[in-house]
Amino acid sequence: MIDLYTWTTPNGRKASIMLEEVGLPYKVHAVDIGKDEQFKPEFLKIGPNNRIPVIVDSDNGMSLMESGAILIYLADKTGKLMPKSGEGRYKVIEWLMWQMGGLGPMLGQAHHFHKQNPGKVPYAEERYLKESQRLYKVLNTQLVKGEYVAGDYSIADISIWPWVSRFEWHGVDLGDFPEVKRWYTAIAARPAVQKGYQVPKDMGPIPMPK
């Protein structure tokens, strides 16, 4: 059994979608970051960076924070959604790191300045919206090469998709990135993605491009 501590954010949805995809039993613990529940002492014991998601594996008692590490762990635990060795494994990790180091942080800044605090810092809004456009272009170029980001459907796709699901927040028209639109729509139709998207609570339907 996996205990999942999470909230309705792109990083949180990575973990719940992954758990649905690999079919591991899990119990959800909602951590409302809007109420600062991630700063509670009991959460700090398993999530020392005060960020969701965190998992605790009752099979071995291990707790793990950081969504990218969680995805790798669950892939290795189940033998699913990432090659076990060779170039294919490193290509998946390459694009997972691209998301962790670039797409996530930069789109997160776009959320902060463009969506949540519009008009307060015009320079920052412009900077992060432009970087969002650049990153969407990188993703679109990669997806020209194949159906998914790094070979078969993998944790690379699972890490990226929840961030792209907020394309409206980024001022992005997915019609400008046709390969991203194709990829996004196909993944949104997966039953595990639809179920994992609504963890820990239903926030409405998955946003779909026009």
- Cα 86 vs. chain centroid, distance in angstroms? 24
Please report which confidence band the pLDDT of residue 66 belongs to, taking 50, 70 and 90 as the band edges: very high
Instruction: Look at strands 54-57 and 2-6 and give their pairing.
Output: antiparallel
- pLDDT tens figures, 77-130: 999 999 999 999 999 999 999 999 999 999 999 888 888 888 888 898 899 999
One-letter amino acid for residue 118 of the chain: P
- pLDDT tens figures, 48-63: 999 999 999 999 999 9
Domain of 132, in residue numbers: 86-189
Within a domain: 201: no
For the chain, what is the domain count?
Answer: 2
Question: What is the C-alpha to C-alpha distance for residues 11 and 26, in angstroms, rounded to an integer?
Answer: 17
One-letter amino acid for residue 116 of the chain: Q
45 CB-contact burial (10 Å; exposed 0-12 / middle 13-18 / buried 19+): exposed
Whole-number pLDDT of residue 106: 94
- pLDDT tens figures, 3-47: 999 999 999 999 999 999 999 999 999 999 999 999 999 999 999
Whole-number pLDDT of residue 8: 98
> Looking at residue 127, which CATH number applies to its domain?
1.20.1050.10
CA atoms within 13 A on the CB side of 163: 27
Question: What is the C-alpha to C-alpha distance for residues 142 and 104, in angstroms, rounded to an integer?
Answer: 17
Q: Last residue of a domain, which of 60, 81, 102? A: 81
pTM confidence score: 0.96
Residues 66 and 155 grouped into a single domain: no
Question: What is the C-alpha to C-alpha distance for residues 149 and 95, in angstroms, rounded to an integer?
Answer: 7
Residues 119 and 177 grouped into a single domain: yes
Instruction: Look at strands 2-6 and 26-30 and give their pairing.
Output: parallel
- pLDDT tens figures, 153-198: 999 999 999 999 999 999 899 999 999 999 999 999 999 999 999 9
DSSP strand E in the chain: where?
2-6, 26-30, 54-57, 62-65
One-letter amino acid for residue 111 of the chain: H
Residues 110 and 16 grouped into a single domain: no
Whole-number pLDDT of residue 124: 87
Residues 38 and 102 grouped into a single domain: no
Within a domain: 115: yes
> Contact, 11 vs 158, CB < 8 A?
no
Whole-number pLDDT of residue 190: 98
Whole-number pLDDT of residue 15: 98
With CA atoms as reference, report the closest residue to 197 among 167, 149, 162.
162
Residues 121 and 42 grouped into a single domain: no
Within a domain: 181: yes
The encoded tokens of residue 7 equal 């909230």
Within a domain: 200: no
